[in-house]
Amino acid sequence: MGETDEQPRLTPLKPREWPETMRAALAALVPPNPRHPLPERRDDRPKGLNLLGTFARHPALTTAYHTFNGHVLFATTLGSRERELLVLRVAAVRRAEYEWAQHVVQALGAGLTGDEIARVADGPEAPGWTPSDRAMLQAVDELIAGARISDTTWAELGKSFDEQQLMDLVFTVGAYEVLAMALRTFGVELDDDLEEWK
């Protein structure tokens, strides 16, 4: 993914500077009944401290977004692989470098190959996609361009996904579209532990 030229507009708070209310904001990311496993706590896993430190400037907003995003990440009816295809395509189209790097790590954990991840940036017309994958990537492009999935793409998606999955697909794109806007507008810089994944 190419470089972006946004300058930081909000300085992330260091963890020791986070208000006490950030504890509840972080907890909101875990839904009451997750369908998918939560990520392992490992020292080698990127921590996202610049994003979280920016969120720490507005814990009430973070709590609301994390409640929504917790569903998208851990309670969605979509599979992890499908979710990550959608998120990476949003990041690629929106040139959201931070979102891309964070989700390359998650996509690898969800079973996408390095080749598939690289092809996401080329979009739905790139060779090698299954019809379902192509339709998902096309849906992202259509939602970002016109806020609506076309009848043709909707029909193709309907061959693989039920109604709840289709709803989760739209809301996944929306969740990461708004995050891309925030990351780019606020100028959130890559953390050192994300540099290798950009």
Number of helical (H) and strand (E) elements in the chain, helices listed first: 9, 0
Alpha-carbon torsion, ordered 93, 45, 187, 177, to 10 deg: 30
CA distance 46 to 102: 7
Contact in structure between 27 and 67 (CB atoms under 8 Å): no
CA distance 124 to 35: 28
Contacts of residue 87, Cβ cutoff 8 Å, sequence gap at least 6: 99, 103, 106, 107, 172, 176
Domains contained in the chain, CATH given: 14-31+47-75 (no CATH), 78-198 (1.20.1290.10)
Phi, psi dihedrals of residue 177, rounded to the nearest 5°: -65, -45
What is the pLDDT at residue 167? 98
Whether the per-residue pLDDT at 4 is higher than 70: the answer is no
Whether the per-residue pLDDT at 129 is higher than 70: the answer is yes
Contact in structure between 156 and 66 (CB atoms under 8 Å): no
Whether the per-residue pLDDT at 143 is higher than 90: the answer is yes
Confidence band (pLDDT; 50, 70, 90) for 193?
low
What is the pLDDT at residue 3? 47
pLDDT digits (tens, 9 = 90+) for 14-46: 999 999 999 999 999 999 988 988 877 666 676
pLDDT digits (tens, 9 = 90+) for 75-119: 999 999 999 999 999 999 999 999 999 999 899 989 999 999 999
Task: Classify residue 10 by burial, with Cβ atoms within 10 Å: 0-12, 13-18, 19+.
Answer: middle
Number of Cβ atoms within 10 Å of the Cβ of 96: 26
